[in-house]
Structure 1
Amino acid sequence: MSSLNQAHIVVGITGGIAAYKTIELIRLLTKAGAEVQVVLTDGAKAFVTEMTLQAISGKPVRSTLLDPQAELGMGHIELAKWADLVVIAPASADFIARHANGLANDLLSTLCLATTALLLLAPAMNQAMWQHPATQSNINLLQQREVNFVGPDAGAQACGDVGPGRMSEPDTIFQAIEDLLTPKTHHLEGQHWVITAGPTQEAIDPVRYISNHSSGKMGYAIAAAAAQHGATVTLISGPVALPVPAGVKRVSVKSAQEMLYACRVACANNADVFIGAAAVADFRMKEVANQKMKKQQDSNELQLTLVKNPDIIATLAQEGAAKCMVGFAAETQDVVGYAKDKLQRKGLDLIIANDVSQAGIGFNSDQNQVTIISASDQWTSEQASKSTIAQRIIEHIHQFQLTQSTKD
């Protein structure tokens, strides 16, 4: 039986083209046995109809704060008490700003202030709006208040821009809802986990750098899962457009050398688990130019002199930085073979291999499929959302810890 069976979920929809995706989310929730009450803002009515949402949810749609019939029994307060979870999908920049500032000028914003239920926001907006300092400040403020976020994703947007701001897909939001409403065991309580995520950026000059396509989603999902299970989590992150998971301390870095230093600081007291999920650049410039490098008009070539970056996880494993060292092997061929070689060569306890050449589970994807390998065993997951894969990774690492403790 699903953990969502008979759960009371309010689905709030704000104005945005992504609102059409929420119809599928509601279908997934009702199929899992949840009772769903839909609340629309005025802006949302331009994108989805009340009749459609009523047919999918099986309940009358609410949209007006001053509805005389509903407010005979203080309907908005009753709805706030009824909810186990309030999910806003899409959550517009305007709604995020209003909730961050405690405004209550429509039914949805009033409901969010009046409820003690869990709150999950699935942002959706133009990439420039998402990256604006005002929006990021509002996001950080809400995270401090323990508001949960899922997404946004990066990619092509309805306006023609490309970048972060796309609402997560319905199955990803559904998984985030299920994770929030599933009772968590706190078997990692008292442990310190250090996790790296995202790409590194190696400067060429003040305006250019060498990097890769890593979105950081897998590392962030693992950090979120570890925190949910009670671990103290330090997330050392390269530049990504992702919100900090609830209960996680993020340390932001750019280069591989900065990441290694931050890892050493975080592991100074011998961490319980270190997971190297970041896609660290193998090389950096031998010398970074102080000024922007200019094109040479008489040449069609540019030569850069590169030197090797430190191998972060191998260095930390050699230094005994954590009791359990877990690496990632993002490969495009002979995935398991290369991963096994890396496991042995770098002195790791576990390695998580995935094929980044496959469409739908490579860099920037919301789905993944991994093989978890130890010196004596291996296990391959089904393709699933990265949050689901993260939970499986946590389970395997914990099981490995239990096995090692019995040997000791």
Structure 2
Amino acid sequence: MLETPPMWFLALAFLGAIGPLVFIHEYGHYIVGRWFGIGAETFSIGFGREVAGWTDKRGTRWKIGWLPLGGYVRFTGDMNPASMGQNLDRLSPELRARSFHAKPVWQRALVVFAGPAANFLLAILIFAAFIAANGAPRTPAIVASVLPGSPAAQIGLQRGDRIVGIDDKEVRRFDDLADYSRLRPNEDVLLTIERQGRTFTASTRLAEVREADRFGQTYRVGRLGVATGQRVFEPVPAWLLVPEAVGITASTIENTAVGLWQIITGRRPLEELGGPIKMAQVAGQVASIGWFEFVQLIAFFSINLGFINLLPVPMLDGGHLALYAVEATRRRPLGARAQEWLFRGGFAALMTLMLVATLNDLASVGLWQTLGRLLG
């Protein structure tokens, strides 16, 4: 079992992962805003008091805040980093022409969507580079062995069976089966199986196992109980690299959505929700293994950052997009007071979520057990 790296290494790895991702996200907003002639007053990586910064020839203040847990672009006409708008009548004609809130709703929506899109694009480029270097996983979902007493054994799966579907999802490779099963411990699934030219279905309940990583941390996962042959990677033509990478990104987004929905609906415990401390721990551990693994982790972090920002919660990009959809439907935006209350509610929800995630993080690093021993 590997030892967890020291705290300073975890902190550096976290900053090395989240800093570039926040920059990419905010730069997506910024560059699309520039394309539409929107002025940017501030481009900030981090929140709070400015640690370092400079002002460019366009008048944009580029700065780094002391709290590295996000960032923002404050466009001309914004009252605050949440992009709540000022009364356009109070702006000069020159500022109004460059104001974010004076632009058509479709342009504002594209500017907002550009942040998460930039995160997804970064992940696609990373995956495409890895596929170009190593090939794409093509291990077929053909059973090489069955674990005795497992769900697979209970329904009579045999060596040589090909699993072509699980529930309503097509299984083209073994990773499809493994990823789907991993997220569904103790859940019933319906398998579609090919055996000697005959196709049939069988239902079973996936087992729940505790899987440990190389640092001794355990995770609750679902398991069917089959093994396949040697993992196969096949070369991919250059023109298929991006489609392959898009597929991996889409699958990761789907798995992230499923995991979040399971937490919301109570199928997974709230304790599995992690926050910045857990991210730092994972970043440091993966970075200690090697650069290859760390860059892969950055791709997954980038997808999660893009996905979370698209949730329809006020204060997040998805909340803004939801308001723009309402505005497009009503032909006018919601009133300022209604928007203010929505953003207050969104801020309260995000702070509550952050508190829960932080408490979970502190529990995962053993703080409560240590305090219990000291107080006991």
Q: TM-score, normalised by structure 2?
A: 0.20
